[in-house]
Amino acid sequence: MTLLKTLPKSKRATVWVFPGQGSQKLGMGLDLQKFPLGKLRLQQAEDLLGWSISDVWQSENTKLSNTQYTQPCLYVFMTLLADLMKQSGYGPDLVTGYSFGEYVALYTAGAYDFETGLKLIKKRAEIMSRLPQGSMATLIGFEVDKLREEVFKTSDVWLANDDTKYAVISGTSQGIASILSNVPVERVIPLEVSAAFHTPLVEPAAKEFQAVLETTSFDALSIPVLSSTNFVFSLSINQVKESLVQQISQSVKWQMISKTLINQGVRKAIQIGCGQGLLKPMKNLAPELEISNVGSTADIDSLVIRDQLKKLFMLNSEAIKR
């Protein structure tokens, strides 16, 4: 097993991070359909899945929040953005993902091709869609100790992340309602999910999916992937597969992941997908960190223009010095 415990700061400066389920937005990916690669991938996905990704992207919000559809939609969306970024001359030194986002990180690192990854996601989504109904919610503005105390006392509710500012609770709808009735919270944001992910309630799905992973061949990784469960930079396929099983029922410790990235010399972070939710904790830890979000082809164009202007400015500065 090959583990990279440290990253050379001069060579491992840029990380691409990929958000998980709940980050989906109605209308995402519509601009990708006009590109040849987008058309190809959407047709490949429809042939494999038996339904249209673009239709769900565009107008079917109920389906988009259903696990069986959410995960393939996010996979196609984010892998397309990652490939278009590479076509524009960009590439990460390492990758990581929040829960489901780890699968897109692995695709970006070369663990499997598009169709192999989509088959894996299809099976994962089918398994998880059979789970009992559950709920998840992000809480903003609360007393940390009070929340932890109530979660500890309440059955069938767990903290699904390690953020003390934006806590995520996961469990049964009744359990979450009990928490919200006992803990004053400034803002509650229900997540568009259909089960209580990152809790013991989904362990049966993790065990079933483990068998699927064991029969799926992965290619050698071209760049390190930061594991979301043990926080090591890995090039080991066995280590990666173990993490994919564990992360289904374990809480997501994004604060710890962020600290690991910053401590190991990451100086630039790009979130591929909707929003900047993964970048904010990193920026709070390291205000000097350069962050960008790529959620559309327009964002890629803006990134290219910005970097071209930066290079032009540097060239002009060097010319003036001479």
Please identify every residue annotated as catalytic: 99, 198
**Cα–Cα distance, 197 to 203 (Å, whole number):** 9
**Cα–Cα distance, 88 to 30 (Å, whole number):** 19
Residue 185 near residue 161, CB atoms below 8 Å: no
Which of 311, 277, 309, 268 is CA-nearest to residue 295?
A: 277
Q: Where are the alpha helices (DSSP H) in 11-143?
A: 36-49, 53-59, 61-64, 67-87, 101-108, 114-129
Q: Tell me, what DSSP letter sits at residue 265?
A: T
**Cα–Cα distance, 202 to 132 (Å, whole number):** 9
Length of the chain: 322
List all residues 6 or more positions away from 106 whose beta carbon is below 8 Å from its beta carbon. 95, 97, 112, 117, 218, 221, 225, 240
Centroid of chain to Cα 77: 12
**Cα–Cα distance, 166 to 186 (Å, whole number):** 11
Residue 93 near residue 15, CB atoms below 8 Å: yes
**Cα–Cα distance, 89 to 85 (Å, whole number):** 7
